Chain A
Amino acid sequence: MTDTTLTRGLRSAKDRLRGVEAYQEELSGTPRTRFLRHVVLVGVGLVMLYPLLWMLSASFKPSAKVFADSNLVPSQVELGNYAAGWSALEHPFQLYLVNSLILAVLNIVGNLLSCSMAAYAFSRLRFRGRKTLFAAMLGTMLLPAHVVLIPQYVIFAKLGWVNTYLPLTVPAFLATNAFFVFLLVQFMRALPMELQDAAKIDGCGPYRTYWKVIMPLTVPAMATVAIFTFISSWNDFFGPLLYLTDSDLFTVPLALRQFMSAEGASDWGPMFAMSVVSLLPVVAFFFIGQRYLLNGIATTGMK
């Protein structure tokens, strides 16, 4: 194969890509099929959003009318649900919010530091056993978390960590989330190697290169990791359920669950009000970081 056929091949691939992008911009189909497409999409969108809108509306209805008043716009707005829900449990709701926030922040810091360190080593440094260790790291992604659950609990119990935040935060500082390491490896691999060579010529060792060259360029991927960490830590129910017993350590999901008894009878208005409060940070982070989230999730399916 000569150089010319190679470059020609490259050029045609580039043209093809450009063609794909141009196509994405233009709207295909007759006006009628375009209209039908929107009808279907709006229909699906309503199904997706309706439960959330219903919950928001229910949080403003008097408990007795939550199910009787089927309008999305409440006929009688009851702001008291929020005040009632806030103080309905053993502790005021801000305690649970602060607890959840502490855990989320610690997990974000831990994941950002430890996962980026591992990813830097895997993607940018040469060492023996790199391929084997990288494969082992990917392998842990397929390992179901519940196989190691019981011994981990036993270890944490022996260490006296049960009923503290340590079992819920220390693992984040040890790069245990293989998915994030993988995501950062993919991102760092795409950064040109010349950057590192230039840094080396300027006298940067591996540590300074990591901190001064690679980390600043990895900010978009780090944002993805931070937002995903926030959402999964905020939503986590199983970990706190397992390790926390004192109610003053409870996180938002543990607190919320107390609104619902096994029989199902509940004080609906306050329960939905606090449900809305519990989802607000997630929805806010989603709207702030949706570009990072969508790109992050999309790249996981690619090679």
Chain B
Amino acid sequence: MSTSTTSPVAAPGVDRPPRLRRRSSAEASEERAAYVFLAPWFIGMLFTVIPFGVSLYLAFTNYNLLQSPALVGLENFTRVFEDPKAETSARVTLTYTFLSVPISMVSALAVAMLLNKGVRGLKFYRSIFYLPSLIGASVAIVMLWRSIFGYGGIVNSFLGFFGIEGPGWVTDPDWALVTLVTLGVWSFGASMVIFLAGLRQIPVMFYEAASVDGAGWWRQFRSITVPLLSPVIFFNLVLGLIGSLQTFTQGFVFSGGTGGPAESTLFFNLYLYQQGFQRFDMGYASALAWVMFIVIAFFTALNFLVSKWWVFYDD
């Protein structure tokens, strides 16, 4: 940064581009201070940006942490697409995401709309609904889930009370993932709080005018709430997708690290962990990570593209 020196020596504008005004010493020292304040962040970025490149390199190698990486070309990537377990784990993750994200978003919006009607005890309700989202991915709660849905757990006793014989939520491969979806939905509180904040920015007069014009509840919801809330819906959707595609702890704790029963809770990240940190196949795990990155980038980009059609910014 040679231009930011405090040197008071005048350098007339002959040999520099005319737009570069000479900086005062105060400006220069402010700039220096900014870089000092940003120094930790710069180093932190190195810990992100360099690994980002390195992981792409590793994806084209065989690497077990002990020997140096050996280039193998596209082998790891072709292996991803031929590996039935990789396919299974991708299916598990996508199924989980496409079930839990929409259901929890609809629940979050519905509860936020109820709370926005001016309910006595709003703060109490809001706290109760928000709490689970803080602990939903903790080991204690996943173990709790396994117990209450498990054999003899309260869920099946409750269903039995109505004469329904509940499935083996934990042991049946068809139901284990559904059990984890219910846990994901239970943690809808964070997006509910964001929805509630968004709803509060919609002027009441819009609804008043609409009902004077004879618009019913559904019409008001479609023509006022959804368009004006669309930036918030979009935000929750993007973050919900990214978060849920990276699910790990739930699958790991629920299945004791195996992804069972019958690989039904083998989340993509769990499989990546098994390949990278149990089998030390770091090259293959990097390829898995990049496939996941591309899938997440694809969904995020798709979201942003489609958003042009339905997300409405009023400024």
The answer, yes or no, to whether A190 is at the interface (CB within 8 Å) is: no
Query: Smallest Cβ distance from A211 to chain B, in angstroms?
Result: 11
* Of the residues A38, A67, A118, A253, contact of B153 by C-beta under 8 Å: A67
Query: Hey, which chain A residues are within 8 Å of B290, CB to CB?
Result: 147
| B140-161, CB < 8 A from A | 140-141, 143-148, 150, 152-154, 157
- Please state if A41 and B125 are interface contacts (CB–CB under 8 Å): yes
- Please state if B296 and A144 are interface contacts (CB–CB under 8 Å): yes
Contact indicator per residue, chain B 23-34, by CB within 8 Å of chain A (1) or not (0): 000010111011
Separation of A136 and B45 alpha carbons in the complex (Å): 9
The answer, yes or no, to whether A48 is at the interface (CB within 8 Å) is: yes
Binds A, one of B73-81, B83-91, B95-103, B114-122: B114-122
Contact indicator per residue, chain A 268-303, by CB within 8 Å of chain B (1) or not (0): 100110011011001100110010011001111111
* Of the residues A20, A26, A40, A45, contact of B128 by C-beta under 8 Å: A45
- Please state if B31 and A16 are interface contacts (CB–CB under 8 Å): no
The answer, yes or no, to whether A121 is at the interface (CB within 8 Å) is: yes
Separation of A254 and B24 alpha carbons in the complex (Å): 55
- Please state if A237 and B128 are interface contacts (CB–CB under 8 Å): no
The answer, yes or no, to whether A235 is at the interface (CB within 8 Å) is: yes
- Please state if B255 and A262 are interface contacts (CB–CB under 8 Å): yes
* Of the residues B27, B38, B193, B200, contact of A126 by C-beta under 8 Å: B27
Query: Smallest Cβ distance from A229 to chain B, in angstroms?
Result: 13
Query: Hey, which chain B residues are within 8 Å of A286, CB to CB?
Result: 127, 131, 134
Separation of A262 and B251 alpha carbons in the complex (Å): 12
Separation of A223 and B315 alpha carbons in the complex (Å): 31
Contact indicator per residue, chain B 193-227, by CB within 8 Å of chain A (1) or not (0): 11111101101110000000000000000000000
- Please state if A298 and B196 are interface contacts (CB–CB under 8 Å): yes
Query: Hey, which chain A residues are within 8 Å of B44, CB to CB?
Result: 114, 171, 174-176
- Please state if B246 and A144 are interface contacts (CB–CB under 8 Å): yes
| A136-163, CB < 8 A from B | 136-137, 140, 142-155, 157
Separation of A226 and B140 alpha carbons in the complex (Å): 22
List the B residue with the shortest CB-CB distance to A252. Answer: B139
- Please state if B37 and A147 are interface contacts (CB–CB under 8 Å): no
Separation of A133 and B42 alpha carbons in the complex (Å): 10
Query: Hey, which chain B residues are within 8 Å of A114, CB to CB?
Result: 40-41, 44
- Please state if A206 and B33 are interface contacts (CB–CB under 8 Å): yes
Query: Hey, which chain A residues are within 8 Å of B47, CB to CB?
Result: 152, 155, 171, 174, 176
- Please state if B145 and A51 are interface contacts (CB–CB under 8 Å): yes
- Please state if A38 and B119 are interface contacts (CB–CB under 8 Å): yes
- Please state if B198 and A121 are interface contacts (CB–CB under 8 Å): no
- Please state if A297 and B114 are interface contacts (CB–CB under 8 Å): no
Query: Smallest Cβ distance from B159 to chain A, in angstroms?
Result: 13
List the B residue with the shortest CB-CB distance to A45. Answer: B128
- Please state if B135 and A20 are interface contacts (CB–CB under 8 Å): no
Query: Hey, which chain B residues are within 8 Å of A256, CB to CB?
Result: 139-140, 143
Separation of A151 and B98 alpha carbons in the complex (Å): 30
- Please state if B200 and A278 are interface contacts (CB–CB under 8 Å): no
Separation of A6 and B134 alpha carbons in the complex (Å): 44
Separation of A137 and B40 alpha carbons in the complex (Å): 13
List the A residue with the shortest CB-CB distance to B150. Answer: A264
List the A residue with the shortest CB-CB distance to B239. Answer: A300
- Please state if A238 and B236 are interface contacts (CB–CB under 8 Å): no
Query: Smallest Cβ distance from B217 to chain A, in angstroms?
Result: 11
From known contacts A45-B129, A278-B140, infer whether A268 and B292 are also in contact, taking CB-CB under 8 Å.
Answer: no
- Please state if B40 and A260 are interface contacts (CB–CB under 8 Å): no
Query: Smallest Cβ distance from A152 to chain B, in angstroms?
Result: 5
Query: Smallest Cβ distance from A51 to chain B, in angstroms?
Result: 6
The answer, yes or no, to whether A44 is at the interface (CB within 8 Å) is: yes
List the A residue with the shortest CB-CB distance to B126. Answer: A294
Query: Hey, which chain B residues are within 8 Å of A282, CB to CB?
Result: 134-135, 138
Separation of A40 and B135 alpha carbons in the complex (Å): 23
- Please state if B138 and A27 are interface contacts (CB–CB under 8 Å): no
Query: Hey, which chain A residues are within 8 Å of B204, CB to CB?
Result: 19-20, 23
The residues of A with any CB-CB pair to B shorter than 8 Å are: 16, 19-20, 23-29, 34, 37-38, 40-41, 44-45, 47-49, 51-52, 54-55, 58, 66-68, 70, 113-114, 117-118, 120-122, 125-128, 130, 133, 136-137, 140, 142-155, 157, 171, 173-176, 181, 205-207, 210, 231, 235, 237-238, 241-242, 253, 256-257, 259-264, 268, 271-272, 275-276, 278-279, 282-283, 286-287, 290, 293-294, 297-303
Can you offer 24 A-B residue contacts whose CB atoms are under 8 A?
Answer: A16-B205, A20-B204, A23-B118, A28-B117, A51-B144, A113-B40, A114-B41, A117-B41, A125-B37, A126-B34, A133-B38, A146-B246, A147-B55, A149-B289, A151-B55, A205-B33, A206-B30, A253-B138, A264-B146, A272-B147, A275-B143, A282-B134, A294-B130, A302-B201
Which 4 residue pairs across A and B have the least CB separation, nearest first?
A262-B256, A174-B44, A151-B51, A301-B194
